[in-house]
């Protein structure tokens, strides 16, 4: 089960039905707390430069691991000692790789080095380095902003961070134009795709501070992926809410909330078929598909060597076309790469438009056309042919503010492409299909 927050989060402030209405003009309301991040004031600029360098740079730790402690990863142990001061685990890992950490007087370079009770650990926190990604004037749908965090509504088809093949036009490029924030760089994994055994959730970005020049990067590392302040990710095709940290303390605190699964996240999707039962909990580890490195695979149970524990809760909200499709709500207990998409496939209900996981247009039409009046066949086929992404939307995001400690919760309706398909499915669904008069599952 997911860990609970210190105080229970508020109820879903906007009902699902309200979320699914067409969006009205929200600009004034959503930007009520908007703050500009640039200032012509000299002192403000100086403070900004200090923030970009990283206020924790140069912090020293020299401490013995308590006697009786079992074997622990060095990065995890140092993070436990410095995390409360706003130093992220990724910053610690960068310090290790830069040769700024020693155990019993001997420098180490592996973030997975094991320490035990009695070992003397010394660490100097590395400085943050300038960001190499370029700012681009790309509009942002800002849901909330203050001096420490930014919540945005990511449109479909936007990549979150630069990566090979997507160097520009990303959410990160847009954020850099909007507001200067602390800069982080994560190096691409090597070709084996190996991960640290206890690294954080796959949809949480673990950052390495950029300490390397192009000549210093190992040949095993393909390219640097620049991800300033991004605490978690959404797939390119997924729309919805995403939180960005504007300083390192906020990043460390939010990453910890993701690690403890206290972040509140609700997604909605359109599926091919209807799950049976109509609500439940699926626990199936997720790992890389050995036959397709771009796809994940869900494996029932846990304890698999090359897969990581994953659990999701789902509930059918509406049924369409006599069971040919459904509006399904998802609540995540963990956050793995493609978790909802892989779990939906395992349940036999791939997301509509998710060609990678079996939610093809032909499958959708084969399930729906026989169940709806023939007069709707042409319109349905035309609409489904236009679906060019998995119909998945991050509708709710809640977290504890990293500085004030207040519980914040945000909701946003799905974008026009999702809403158009949803409205058409409602239109072609005969009233006799409705379980309670409007197709909403109870």
The pLDDT of 21-30, averaged and rounded, is 40
Determine contact, residues 95/124, Cβ cutoff 8 Å.
yes
- Which one is predicted more confidently, 187 or 409? 409
Determine contact, residues 231/304, Cβ cutoff 8 Å.
no
State whether residue 395 is helix, strand or coil. Answer: strand
Task: Enter the tokens of residue 5.
Answer: 């927050």
Ramachandran quadrant class, 140 (left: phi over 0; alpha: psi -120 to 50; beta: rest): beta
Whole-number Å distance between alpha carbons of 272 and 361: 9
Mean pLDDT for all residues in the chain: 77
pLDDT for 38 equals 28
Pairing state of beta strands 149-154 and 142-145? Answer: antiparallel
- Which one is predicted more confidently, 212 or 321? 321
Report pLDDT digits (tens) over 133-164: 678 889 999 999 999 999 999 999 999 877 65
pLDDT for 216 equals 34
pLDDT for 180 equals 62
The pLDDT of 413-420, averaged and rounded, is 97
Query: What are the residues whose beta carbons fall under 8 Å from the beta carbon of 254, sequence distance 6 or more?
Result: 149, 231, 243, 245, 263, 399, 402
pLDDT for 16 equals 57
Beta carbons within 10 angstroms of residue 252's beta carbon: 24
Give the residue from 254, 207, 186, 231 showing the smallest Cα distance to 89: 207
- Which one is predicted more confidently, 426 or 213? 426
pLDDT for 84 equals 65
Task: Enter the tokens of residue 392.
Answer: 């998945």
The residue length of the chain stands at 442
Whole-number Å distance between alpha carbons of 195 and 282: 24
* DSSP H or E segment with residue 57: none
pLDDT for 353 equals 96
pLDDT band at 314 (very low <50, low <70, confident <90, very high): very high
Report pLDDT digits (tens) over 353-400: 999 999 999 999 999 999 999 999 999 999 999 999 999 999 999 999
pLDDT for 252 equals 87
- Lowest-pLDDT range of 11-20, 143-152, 251-260, 425-434: 11-20
Residue 97 has pLDDT above 60, yes or no: yes
Whole-number Å distance between alpha carbons of 230 and 428: 40
pLDDT for 342 equals 97
Residue 344 has pLDDT above 90, yes or no: yes
Pairing state of beta strands 106-107 and 114-115? Answer: unpaired
- Which one is predicted more confidently, 191 or 404? 404
Q: Is the preceding peptide bond at 277 cis, omega within 30 degrees of 0? A: yes
pLDDT band at 2 (very low <50, low <70, confident <90, very high): very low
pLDDT band at 128 (very low <50, low <70, confident <90, very high): low
Active site (annotated) includes residue 379? no
pLDDT band at 94 (very low <50, low <70, confident <90, very high): confident
The pLDDT of 75-85, averaged and rounded, is 82
Task: Enter the tokens of residue 333.
Answer: 């207990």
Catalytic residue among 202, 203, 210, 235: 235
The pLDDT of 278-289, averaged and rounded, is 94
Strand partners, 224: 187
The sheet with strand 60-64 has its strands ordered as 60-64, 120-124, 101-103, 106-107
pLDDT for 85 equals 63
pLDDT band at 249 (very low <50, low <70, confident <90, very high): confident
pLDDT for 41 equals 32
DSSP state of 168: S
Domains of the chain: 55-124 (3.10.290.10), 264-433 (3.30.2350.10)
- Lowest-pLDDT range of 13-27, 171-185, 297-311, 315-329: 13-27
């Amino acid at each position: 089960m997911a860990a609970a927050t210190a105080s229970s989060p508020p109820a879903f402030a906007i009902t699902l039905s309200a979320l699914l209405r067409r969006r009205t003009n929200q600009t004034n309301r959503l930007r009520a707390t908007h703050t500009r991040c640039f200032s012509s004031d000299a002192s403000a600029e100086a403070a900004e430069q200090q923030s970009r360098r990283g206020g924790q740079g140069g912090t020293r730790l020299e401490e013995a691991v308590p006697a009786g402690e079992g074997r622990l990863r060095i990065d995890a142990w140092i993070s436990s000692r410095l995390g409360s001061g706003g130093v992220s685990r990724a910053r610690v890992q960068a310090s290790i790789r830069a040769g700024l950490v020693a155990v019993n007087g001997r420098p180490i370079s592996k973030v997975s080095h094991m320490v035990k009770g009695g070992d003397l650990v010394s660490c100097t926190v590395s400085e943050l380095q300038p960001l190499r990604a370029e700012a681009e004037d790309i509009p942002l749908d800002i849901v909330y902003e203050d001096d420490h965090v930014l919540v945005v509504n990511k449109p479909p088809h936007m990549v979150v961070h630069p990566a090979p093949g997507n160097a520009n036009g990303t959410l990160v490029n847009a954020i850099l134009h909007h507001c200067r924030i602390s800069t982080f760089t994560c190096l691409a994994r090597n070709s084996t795709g190996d991960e640290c055994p206890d690294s954080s959730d796959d949809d949480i970005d673990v950052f390495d501070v950029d300490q390397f020049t192009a000549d210093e990067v190992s040949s095993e590392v393909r390219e640097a992926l620049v991800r300033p302040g991004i605490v978690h990710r959404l797939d390119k095709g997924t729309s919805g809410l995403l939180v960005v940290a504007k300083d390192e303390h906020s990043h460390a605190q939010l990453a910890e909330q993701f690690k403890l699964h206290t972040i509140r996240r609700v997604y909605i999707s359109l599926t091919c078929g209807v799950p049976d039962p109509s609500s439940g909990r699926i626990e199936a580890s997720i790992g890389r598909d050995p036959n397709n490195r771009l796809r994940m695979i869900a494996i029932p149970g846990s304890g698999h060597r090359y897969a990581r524990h994953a659990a999701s809760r789902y509930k059918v909200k509406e049924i369409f076309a006599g069971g040919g499709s459904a509006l399904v709500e998802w609540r995540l207990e963990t956050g793995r790469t493609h978790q909802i998409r892989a779990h939906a496939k395992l349940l036999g209900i791939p997301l509509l438009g998710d060609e990678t996981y079996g939610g093809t247009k032909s499958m959708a039409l084969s399930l729906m056309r026989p169940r709806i009046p023939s007069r709707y066949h042409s319109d349905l086929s035309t609409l489904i042919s236009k679906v060019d992404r998995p119909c998945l939307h991050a509708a709710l995001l809640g977290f504890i503010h990293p500085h004030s400690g207040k519980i914040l919760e945000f909701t946003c309706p799905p974008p026009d492409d999702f809403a158009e398909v949803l409205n058409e499915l409602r239109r072609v669904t005969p009233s006799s299909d409705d379980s309670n008069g409007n197709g909403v599952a109870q």
